[in-house]
Amino acid sequence: MQILGLDLTDDSLKGTPMRVAKMYVKEVFGGLNPKNKPVVTLFDNNYKYDEVVMIKDITFYTMCEHHFIPFFGKAHVAYIPKDKVAGLSKVNRLVQFFARRPQVQERLTIQIAKEISEQFHTEDVAVAIEANHLCVAARGVEDTTSSTVTTYFLGKFATEAYKMQFLSSLNPA
Decide: 85 and 121 in contact? Cβ < 8 Å. Answer: no
Whether 105 sits among the annotated catalytic residues: the reply is yes
* Length of the chain as a residue count: 173
Q: Of 2, 121, 133, 142, which is the active-site residue?
A: 133
CA distance 173 to 170: 10
Enumerate helices (H) and strands (E) in the chain, giving the number of each.
5, 7
Among 121, 123, 135, 165, the active-site one is 135
Catalytic residue among 96, 105, 111, 119: 105
Q: Distance between the two ends of the chain, CA-based, in angstroms? A: 50
- Three-class HEC string of 96-124: HHHHCCEECHHHHHHHHHHHHHHHHCCCC
Residue of 27, 66, 106, 118 marked catalytic? 66
Active site residue 76: no
β-bridge pairing 148-154 and 84-86: unpaired
**Which one of 64, 76, 96, 111 is the catalytic residue?**
64
Task: Tell me if residue 106 is catalytic.
Answer: no
Distance, CA of 155 to CA of 2 (rounded, Å) = 52
Which residue of the set 27, 65, 106, 118 is catalytic?
Answer: 65
State yes or no: is 133 an active-site residue.
yes
Q: Do 93 and 38 meet the contact criterion of CB atoms below 8 Å apart?
A: yes
Catalytic residues: 64-67, 105, 133, 135
